[in-house]
Amino acid sequence: MSDTTVPTTKATASTPGPDRTQVSRVALASLIGTTIEYYDFAVYGTAAALVLGPAFFPAGDSTVSTLAAFLTFAAAFLARPIGVVLFGTIGDRLGRKRALVLSLLMMGLATVGVGLLPTYETAGLLAPVLLVTLRLVQGVSIGGEWGGAVLLAAEHAPPGRRALYASIPQVGPVAGFLLSSAVILPTLSIAGRDGFADGAWRIPFLLSAVLIVIGLWVRTTVTESPVFSGRGPETRPASRFPLGTLIKEYPGRLLLGIGAAIGGSAVYYLTIVYSISYGPKALGIPQNTMLAAVSVAAVAAAVATVPFARLADRWGRKPVILTGAVGCAVWALPMFGSLSTGNGLVIAGAFTVGLLFFIMMFSPIAAFLPELFPARLRYTGASATFILANTLGGGFAPLVATWLNSQWKSPLVLGVYAGALCLVSLLCVLALPETRDEEFEI
């Protein structure tokens, strides 16, 4: 099947319609899973910005220790492609549900493990080695989370509402950040900056254990995707190595899909992760002010996720994504330029507008990327495009931004960087076909 042909095979007349109760439970399971996974990631990103550099990578220069902490953040992104291969193979050959349960369990154990680690002062070089190891496990886990979560929701969705249901797990990254802030802010307020650095930073990591138990219970009670379980003996079987088959049969779709998601990834991580460190350290913005401003913008993005997905079901995926890409490209400069004012209200307003444009790109992409590939390769295809875009556009964003600001010392360079990647996404989406009216292949 060529890159230019959208994979389509309509469900047979005997295929039962979706059970609304089960569909709702699946959507909830997908949302809880992505929220927990991105909570864990957000907790690490915030802790890296605040304390993990000195605790695990002591150095005379605070910039050097912060860079080292963000390097471990990037290391987890480098491990994500391993998760794509591992969980893509499990998800396409053995089932979406099995892959999702395993990915959530791995993430939870790694996150709790970070909260139990000794620091450099206690264990010497062993401490950063263990931290990097657990970060790699987190990266592998999240490499399989996104594709499975959106597929489980999308493949259960009623006709004409695929973008709507696929978008529900997309609330997870923003909700995970908000949940992490809801834990970190009170901990900071109660323990103080010194108390947080001395050991209170462990609390958000350890609380992940409670969330993981809830998430595993929810995920183990839902049914397998009907698209996967509905395969009959006449259906073309899954490949033994889905990623290799994907690269061979759909190289153009794979590259363009990565490009389509790369701009949104940069905007998200520069806003949600990097600005929380950059604002206080480089511009003197109070830490609580910065966290509150980003949280306000994140709430607006979370609320807008489902409405924009409904527009994508009505108008098509491309018009909504393209509007968001144009908006992000244009607004990136004033959005990050607002940091130079130091005013929390101005920053919150600018970031809110920016994240609303971001969510126009991010919400429909959950249906758009899976629709580019057939069922036998869909878990791997959706995961590979999104995760590689996240790695290239988001994983290295804090590292690249730290270097850019060491050279030019202006928040405007963040806008140039993010805006350029959003233009890349715009061009890639233009080159891909509209997929709204295509049936998921059984």
Mean pLDDT of 219-246: 71
CA distance 331 to 328: 5
Look at residue 62 and tell me if it is in a domain.
Answer: yes
Compute the mean pLDDT over every residue in the chain, rounded to the nearest whole number.
85
CA distance 209 to 202: 12
Look at residue 125 and tell me if it is in a domain.
Answer: yes
Look at residue 162 and tell me if it is in a domain.
Answer: yes
Q: How many CB atoms lie within 10 A of CB 409?
A: 10
Q: Which of 60-69, 156-165, 318-327, 416-425 has the weakest average pLDDT?
A: 60-69
> Is residue 10 predicted with pLDDT exceeding 50?
no
Q: Which of 244-258, 263-277, 418-432 has the weakest average pLDDT?
A: 263-277
Mean pLDDT of 308-335: 96
Reference 86, options 139, 34, 143, 135; nearest CA is 143
| 55-100 tens-digit pLDDT | 787 765 566 666 676 677 667 778 888 999 999 999 888 888 888 8
> Is residue 322 predicted with pLDDT exceeding 60?
yes
CATH number assigned to the domain comprising residue 312: 1.20.1250.20
> Is residue 358 predicted with pLDDT exceeding 90?
yes
CA distance 109 to 132: 14
Give the model's pLDDT for residue 27: 82
The residue with greater pLDDT, 222 or 392, is 392
Look at residue 233 and tell me if it is in a domain.
Answer: no
Give the model's pLDDT for residue 232: 47
Give the model's pLDDT for residue 65: 64
Domain that holds residue 363: 20-225+242-431
**CA 123 to mean position of chain CA atoms:** 32
Q: Which token pair is 48?
A: 């890296």
Give the model's pLDDT for residue 287: 82
The residue with greater pLDDT, 296 or 14, is 296
Mean pLDDT of 306-319: 96
Mean pLDDT of 184-212: 87
Look at residue 263 and tell me if it is in a domain.
Answer: yes
> Is residue 15 predicted with pLDDT exceeding 50?
no
Give the model's pLDDT for residue 441: 57
Give the 3-state DSSP-derived string for the chain, with helices as H, strands as E and coil as C. Answer: CCCCCCCCCCCCCCCCCCCHHHHHHHHHHHHHHHHHHHHHHHHHHHHHHHHHHHHHCCCCCHHHHHHHHHHHHHHHHHHHHHHHHHHHHHHHHCCHHHHHHHHHHHHHHHHHHHHHCCCHHHHCCHHHHHHHHHHHHHHHHHHHHHHHHHHHHHHHCCCCCHHHHHHHHHHHHHHHHHHHHHHHHHHHHHHHHHHHHHHHCHHHHHCHHHHHHHHHHHHHCCCCCHHHHCCCCCCCCCCCCHHHHHHHHCHHHHHHHHHHHHHHHHHHHHHHHHHHHHHHHHHCCCHHHHHHHHHHHHHHHHHHHHHHHHHHHHHCHHHHHHHHHHHHHHHHHHHHHHHHHCCHHHHHHHHHHHHHHHHHHHHHHHHHCHHHCCHHHHHHHHHHHHHHHHHHHHHCHHHHHHHHHHHHCCCHHHHHHHHHHHHHHHHHHHHCCCCCCCCCCC
Counting the structural domains of the chain, the total is 1
Look at residue 141 and tell me if it is in a domain.
Answer: yes
Portion of the chain with pLDDT greater than 70, in percent: 89
Look at residue 235 and tell me if it is in a domain.
Answer: no
The residue with greater pLDDT, 147 or 262, is 262
Report yes or no: 347 and 290 within 8 Å, Cβ to Cβ: yes
Look at residue 69 and tell me if it is in a domain.
Answer: yes
| 384-433 tens-digit pLDDT | 999 999 888 887 787 788 888 888 888 999 999 999 999 999 999 999 99
Q: What angle do CA 82, 231, 150 make, to 5 degrees?
A: 45
Mean pLDDT of 206-222: 85
